[in-house]
Structure 1
Amino acid sequence: MSPEVRAAYDAMTEPARGRALALRDLVLRVAAAEGIVLDETLKWGEPAYLPGRGGTTLRIGIDKAGGDLRLLVNCRTSLVAQWREMFGSNLHCEGNRAVRVDRDTDEGALAICIAMALTYHQARGKAAHG
């Protein structure tokens, strides 16, 4: 982890920091399982995970108003709508760009969401050519 990314995590208050680091670990584990190398960096001051040409960026952020941890994706994707359809009330989807992550978030569902984001453009290409 770069010093800049470490500083972003260190700036988070507990318990959000612990949950954010656990979410980072899940993102890294899913990427490894999918054979995807991630670039860990900052976007808008928040830890971000760039999967390269095959997927879309994931960002880990804290909602400034409520302090909730969120997994964010590009709002131009259809991912959050797909997740809402797949998981219904099992995930707390926010608008078209985020899933709120708390202690009772289904880690299995979240891992599927992460994999879908990391392979988003690959999956779209297969659907268009399938």
Structure 2
Amino acid sequence: MNSIKDQAVSEVFATYPTAARKKLLSIRKLIYEVAAQDPDIGELQECLKWGEPAYLAKNGSAVRINWKASAPNYYYVYFNCKTTLIETFKEIYGDSFSYEGNRALLFNLKDKIPAPQLKHCIALSLNYHRIKHLPLLGN
């Protein structure tokens, strides 16, 4: 697994409760797996956006992850709300995910991560600017 090189990102992960940190590190691992399996994505940049760990690709839209003390049993995978990503995920996956408006997938800490479906969503985001002109982003 890729180690966290950005000290500020590492510090944010350290603030999460253990259960949330484990889930979010699993999501981080999925993000890097998706990038490694798709040469069109290229190198990822890991940084903080709005104080949250964010993953950016040259031809993609950022994927952010976070846990909030105001909703301690949940964690989030955020996508740019000015894209059609969440709309596309709803069309493809329907009730397989819980959604927060047009900006996030919401997960309960007790639930198993639906890795294949989530990896597909991450891939669509990290390729977004290359595929945004396609119906349902090419699906």
| TM-score, normalised via structure 2 length | 0.85
Matched residue count = 127
The residue number in structure 2 matching 1:16 is 20
CA distance in 2, matches of 1:48, 1:40: 6
The answer (yes or no) to whether the contact 1:90–1:105 under 8 Å persists in 2 is no
State the partner residue of 2:100. 94
Q: Extract unaligned runs of 5+ from structure 2.
A: none
Number of the residue aligned with 2:70: 65
Structure 1 residue 77 corresponds to structure 2 residue 71: no
Aligned-residue offset at 1:14: 2.0
Aligned-CA RMSD value:
1.7
Structure 1, unpaired ranges of 5+? none
Q: 1:72·1:98 contact (CA, 8 Å) conserved in 2?
A: yes
3-state secondary structure, aligned to 1:29: helix
Which residue of 2 is the match for residue 110 of structure 1? 118
Distance in 1 separating the partners of 2:82 and 2:69: 22
Q: Percent identity?
A: 33
Q: 4+ residue stretches of structure 1 with deviation over 3 A?
A: none
- Alignment deviations for residues 28-81 of structure 1 (CA, whole Å, 9 cap, x no partner): 1101111221100001111000112x1100101113421211100111011001
Quote the offset at 1:11 in angstroms: 0.7
Residues in 2 aligned to 1:66 and 1:40: alpha-carbon distance in whole angstroms: 24
